[in-house]
């Protein structure tokens, strides 16, 4: 059960089981940290970073979006109908591995446990997204 914020407590500390909630500045700083972390991760694992990465932390959700992640050969392959399926399937494996490799890091940094996650890979648009729902509210 996710605790509700207590409007009578301006710091909202009691209702978050003694977990600090991220204020706007802390949230933006954490988003930037995760962006740098993810760019390094993909550069190291795939040899190519993502052209654009956007991280959003809001309430109990972490959203990681990336554009421009396909390699030149993948861009060529994805131009055919069967190629889209091949690249989408391959990149879904990358997304699953990213989750296995990085979920503990996100949970530790946010001091929360992931309770649900979903991926979306749209190779023909050179776009991917990973959404994680945590067991508690993260932001003020």
What are 130-139's pLDDT values in tens digits?
A: 999 999 999 9
Burial 95-112 (b: 16+ CB within 10 A, else e): beebbeebeeebbeebeb
| Per-residue model confidence as pLDDT tens digits over 104-116 | 999 999 999 999 9
DSSP 15: G
Contact 132, 61 (CB under 8 A): yes
Which pLDDT belongs to residue 19?
A: 76
Q: Alpha helices, DSSP H only, in 1-140?
A: 24-46, 72-77, 81-110
Report the SS3 class of residue 132. Answer: strand
Overall average pLDDT of the 98-103 stretch = 92
pLDDT value of residue 45: 82
pLDDT tens, position by position, 45-76: 877 778 899 999 999 999 999 998 888 889 99
């Amino acid at each position: 059960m996710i605790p509700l914020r207590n409007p009578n407590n301006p710091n909202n500390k009691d209702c978050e089981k003694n977990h600090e909630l991220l204020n706007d500045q802390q949230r933006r700083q954490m988003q930037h940290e995760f962006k740098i972390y993810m760019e390094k991760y993909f550069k190291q694992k795939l040899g190519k970073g993502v052209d654009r990465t956007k991280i959003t932390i809001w309430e109990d959700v972490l959203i990681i979006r990336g554009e421009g992640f396909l390699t030149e050969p993948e861009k060529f392959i994805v131009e055919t109908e069967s190629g889209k399926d091949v690249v989408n399937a391959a990149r879904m494996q990358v997304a699953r591995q990213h989750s296995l490799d990085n979920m503990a890091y996100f949970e530790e940094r946010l001091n929360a446990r992931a309770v649900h996650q979903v991926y979306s890979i749209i190779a023909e648009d050179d776009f991917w997204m990973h959404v994680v729902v945590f067991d508690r509210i993260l932001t003020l």
